[in-house]
Structure 1
Amino acid sequence: MINLSVEKDLTIEVVEEILFGNQEIKIDSATKQKVKESYEFLEKFAKNKVIYGINTGLGPMAQYRIEDDKLVDLQYNLIRSHSAGAGQKIPDVYTKASMLVRMRAIMQGYSGIHTSCLELLETLINSDVYPFIPEHGGVGASGDLVQLAHLALVLIGEGHVTYKGEFKLTKDVFAELGIEPIEVKLREGLSLINGTSVMTGVGLVNVIKSKQLLNWSLMASVMMNEIVMSFDDHFSVTLNSVKKHEGQQEIAKGMRLLLKDSNLIARREEHFFSGEVDERIFKRKVQEYYSLRCVPQILGPVYEAVESAKKVVVNEANSVSDNPIVDVENKNVYHGGNFHGDYISIEMDKLKLAVTRMSMLSERQTAFLFNSKINEILPPFVNLGTLGLNLGLQGMQFTATSTAAENQTLSNSMYVHSITTNNDNQDIVSMGTNSAMITKRVIDNAYQVQAIEMMALVQAIDYLQVSSRLSSATKKVYDQLRAIFPVYIEDRPLYEDLAKVVDYLFNNNVEIPQE
């Protein structure tokens, strides 16, 4: 059980425990009291005043007064009319993250809505009931209006949910579990749909899975260096410390820690600096290809991009993105644009560039393993069968290449593609939800490319018969992968093996040793 309080910010670690550790949540009584006070203040303050979204129309129709006997109808109309998304449903874990972010915003007591909204979100998360939220709809400016409307639709007992893996009517699941929907009191419709919660929820999962992928990319890179018995100076303290970037130094340190007990990595001082090399043409490569030698310089910026995205997304998750903002302490209501998703949009654009770079590195390292003329130590396509008759992993390279190419195309910016909408009321928008969802696809693709490289790596290790000389860290990964993907000699369909390895990488984090 994880206790949540208005006084304590969400961290990426807490989010990960809730999303992937099956931890239930409990909101403390002080937080619920703060939400109650916000609602009660707004209920009194709104009388005889014009406040957007309470007694006015919405968007460009804000100039129209709504009569007192129609105020509740306005909120229901808003939820129902904006439940107009399209496309595939957002997977449950991303929806759960979005629900958590919406709940966190309400918890802070600036929304002026009834505590029943908070309590129902808590119940749904703990009951593993996930609203149907479609991929397409929000432009990320007045928040995730369309996607969050689908969330709000479930809170009023309508629409569809996923429960126990089945797609069902909300009313049927609520009846089965004895759950009561909320009753709109004041501005529950606007507050529930007006915010950046979906793009932020998806962004949180994207950050978690990007960090995890970076660890796998680092692991693959050190295994690559072991296979070719590379020199250790390109990840040395001295070489990397003269480049003043934290990310590069962190990646180099990770390589040193992962390889500290390897029996395959060589020292240049013992070979080229020994004074005993008299060859005219050196049999051994003086320097490795860039995809092996420049790992700290390539993954260093990726490390910093992931860390930057984590900071921004966690800040947004702990922010209030409603409009207007209800300030109980100063007894006022402030109109503005906290719902604008620019922070998430630009950060997701940057993150997908970094993830695409990882997929490009993985594809290039895989190409190195497959090309016997370049690596000069392995058979073509790390074929452990009869050359010519058997084809090894040749077919998998097409998948890696095409998927990396798709990532390159998907990495074009959404942030700069504002399109005016809402009768020109929303004349510049963030497209943050699209940016986050496209980044999710880029990450999914990158795991596929990474899985293909990991399969090639274990084949190469077996061909070279060096598993006993690997570092303890890489040997552990080798054993784990071989338990999923057995030695491949005779040709057989590989798509099921690939799916298993993708699933393993996506759902497990590789351990990076600590000093």
Structure 2
Amino acid sequence: MVILTGNTLTIEAVRTVIYGKERVEASVESIKAVEKSHKAVKRIVADGKIVYGINTGFGKFSDVMIDADHVRDLQLNLIRSHACGVGEPFSEVVSRAMLLLRANALLKGYSGIRPLIIDRLIEFLNRQIHPVIPQQGSLGASGDLAPLSHLALTIIGEGKVMYKGQVVDTADALNEEGLCPLELEAKEGLALINGTQAMTAMGAVAYLEAERLATVSEMIAAMTMEGLNGITDAFDEDVHLARGYKQQIETASRMRAYLKGSRLTTRQGEMRVQDAYSLRCIPQVHGASWQALDYVKEKLEIEINAATDNPLIFDDGAKVISGGNFHGQPIALAMDFMKIAVAELANISERRIERLVNPQLNDLPPFLSPEPGLQSGAMIMQYCAASLVSENKTLAHPASVDSIPSSANQEDHVSMGTIAARHAYQIIQNAMKVVAIEWICAMQAAEYRGTEKMAGFTSKLYKTGRELVPSIEKDRVFSGDIETASQWLRKMQNDHLTNIR
């Protein structure tokens, strides 16, 4: 059971809820804070005090006053009008993350929402009722308005949900579960959609996949070292202590562990004095990507425990402030950083693939072909990797440097953080396929060198790989092999390697 307090959620807890379907519950203390905040909103409405989003319009309409009799209509109209997302829906995993993060943020007690609304978000999580939320349409400031509006629609019994493996009308799922649609009261619609939970949920899922990718990319790089008789002196601890980066030191340590006992690697001067950068600089390059990922994790763990709606209610309603915590700039920049870090893991992996298949760079059969010339072997797998790497370079263009004014220039600078998070996820999927291609090529190279000479760790990785992807004894359609290998690598981390770092 994961207990939500609004302040203590971690990325690891997010993992257990969204992937492991761990049940969720709100802490007693956080519910008390929510109740106090809601009472403050009720007093504001009763006293006729003018407060943005409670009894005013939204955005450029913030100066339009709303009668007390229409406060509920205001919230309903808000949700319906803002639910204009387009494109393919987020995955169920991301939808679960959005439910979790929105509930946790509201439990901080600054939003004026009833506990009943938060209970429904948690109930959806625990009963696996997942809102169908289109991916496109958010500017990443004023909150993720369009995506979160599609989430909010399901609270009032509208829109669609993923339920028992099918997309159904929310009303049908609620009816089957014996639940009634909820009617939103003052500020509740705004509190549900004014936040960064779409970009943060997508970002958290992307981070977890990137962490997995960074881990398996090192393992496969170790096998490539064997396939190319790489020089292990470059991983000597003294080299990395001399520079001082923690993540670089840790990467070198893991490389030494993966290659322990190998009779395929070499020492400085045995075959050559030094290797190319894509081998020699694995700790420096992969370590730098780990630095970026650690930064991203730090920002995500702040954001998943942040109050990001507007206005925020303090001191039992004595202080209600319209601010800008909904602005997604911190996550937008973090996602753009992650895009670059992951793209680099694919870049250096593709360079290692080239060294495995190019006969001018090694003494292996050209393109690892069983009959060079008659059969192309891994030639076009390197093409595929190069294509994916090039695509990543376009996706890595920072989304956060763009901004388009909205709401008649009231909202004149936005983050585009949700675009950044979505593109980060795409880059990670492409990069995993590049790493899978390196794995296939590294296994083939290891066979030419002699698999009996492999290190204990890489030998196990080789045996597992060969259960998935047969040796290249003649040309075949390799597309399925790449997909099979990449999907296994994604699953491998979840099942076996969560704590490898």
TM bin, normalised by shorter chain, reads over 0.9
| SS of the residue 2:69 aligns to | helix
TM-score (norm 2): 0.96
Give the aligned partner of residue 159 of structure 2.
159
Deviation at residue 328 of structure 1 after TM alignment: 4.1
1:305 to 292, 296, 299: 292
Verify: 1:379 aligned to 2:365, yes or no: yes
Verify: 1:481 aligned to 2:461, yes or no: no
Residue 332 of structure 2 contacts residue 420 of structure 2 at CA under 8 Å; is this kept in 1? yes
Give the aligned partner of residue 488 of structure 2.
504
Give the aligned partner of residue 474 of structure 2.
490
Verify: 1:404 aligned to 2:382, yes or no: no
Deviation at residue 229 of structure 1 after TM alignment: 2.5
Measured in 1, the distance between the counterparts of 2:118 and 2:330 equals 25
- In structure 2, relative to structure 1, the CA distance for the partners of 1:461 and 1:322 (3 Å cut) is same
1:288 to 275, 278, 290: 275
What number of residue pairs does the alignment pair up?
Answer: 498
| SS of the residue 2:438 aligns to | helix
Runs of 5+ consecutive residues of structure 2 not aligned to the other structure: none
Alignment of 1:81-92 (within 5 A): 81-92=81-92
Residue 110 of structure 2 contacts residue 314 of structure 2 at CA under 8 Å; is this kept in 1? yes
2:455 to 471, 479, 484: 471
Give the aligned partner of residue 456 of structure 1.
441
Given residue 21 of structure 1, which amino acid in structure 2 is its aligned partner? G
| SS of the residue 1:18 aligns to | helix
Runs of 5+ consecutive residues of structure 1 not aligned to the other structure: 273-283
Residue 37 of structure 1 contacts residue 328 of structure 1 at CA under 8 Å; is this kept in 2? no
Verify: 1:369 aligned to 2:368, yes or no: no
Deviation at residue 164 of structure 1 after TM alignment: 2.5
| SS of the residue 1:435 aligns to | helix
Measured in 1, the distance between the counterparts of 2:258 and 2:317 equals 55
Deviation at residue 400 of structure 1 after TM alignment: 0.9
Give the aligned partner of residue 345 of structure 1.
332
Verify: 1:389 aligned to 2:374, yes or no: yes
Residue 56 of structure 1 contacts residue 63 of structure 1 at CA under 8 Å; is this kept in 2? yes
Given residue 463 of structure 2, which amino acid in structure 1 is its aligned partner? D
Alignment of 1:264-275 (within 5 A): 264-268=264-268
Given residue 192 of structure 2, which amino acid in structure 1 is its aligned partner? L
Greater shift, 68-77 or 489-498, is seen at 489-498
Give the aligned partner of residue 255 of structure 1.
255
Verify: 1:416 aligned to 2:401, yes or no: yes
- Deviation track 1:85-119 (CA, whole Å, cap 9, x = no partner) reads 11111111112112111111011111111112111
| SS of the residue 1:487 aligns to | coil
Greater shift, 95-104 or 385-394, is seen at 385-394
- In structure 2, relative to structure 1, the CA distance for the partners of 1:489 and 1:164 (3 Å cut) is farther
Give the aligned partner of residue 242 of structure 2.
242
| SS of the residue 1:135 aligns to | strand
Give the aligned partner of residue 358 of structure 1.
345
Measured in 2, the distance between the counterparts of 1:514 and 1:412 equals 31
Deviation at residue 40 of structure 1 after TM alignment: 1.7
- Deviation track 1:479-499 (CA, whole Å, cap 9, x = no partner) reads 222111122322222222222
Deviation at residue 512 of structure 1 after TM alignment: 9.3
* Structure 1 residue ranges (4+ consecutive) displaced by more than 6 angstroms after TM superposition: 512-515
Measured in 1, the distance between the counterparts of 2:424 and 2:53 equals 32
Given residue 266 of structure 2, which amino acid in structure 1 is its aligned partner? A
Measured in 2, the distance between the counterparts of 1:174 and 1:237 equals 59
Residue 258 of structure 2 contacts residue 457 of structure 2 at CA under 8 Å; is this kept in 1? yes
Measured in 2, the distance between the counterparts of 1:129 and 1:495 equals 35
Give the aligned partner of residue 277 of structure 1.
none
- In structure 2, relative to structure 1, the CA distance for the partners of 1:512 and 1:65 (3 Å cut) is closer
Measured in 2, the distance between the counterparts of 1:420 and 1:37 equals 36
Measured in 1, the distance between the counterparts of 2:460 and 2:8 equals 36
Alignment of 1:174-189 (within 5 A): 174-189=174-189
Measured in 2, the distance between the counterparts of 1:42 and 1:255 equals 57
TM-score (norm 1): 0.93
- Deviation track 1:302-350 (CA, whole Å, cap 9, x = no partner) reads 0100000000011011111010111245732121111000000011011
Deviation at residue 465 of structure 1 after TM alignment: 2.1
Greater shift, 65-74 or 215-224, is seen at 215-224
Deviation at residue 75 of structure 1 after TM alignment: 0.3
| SS of the residue 2:361 aligns to | helix
Give the aligned partner of residue 104 of structure 2.
104
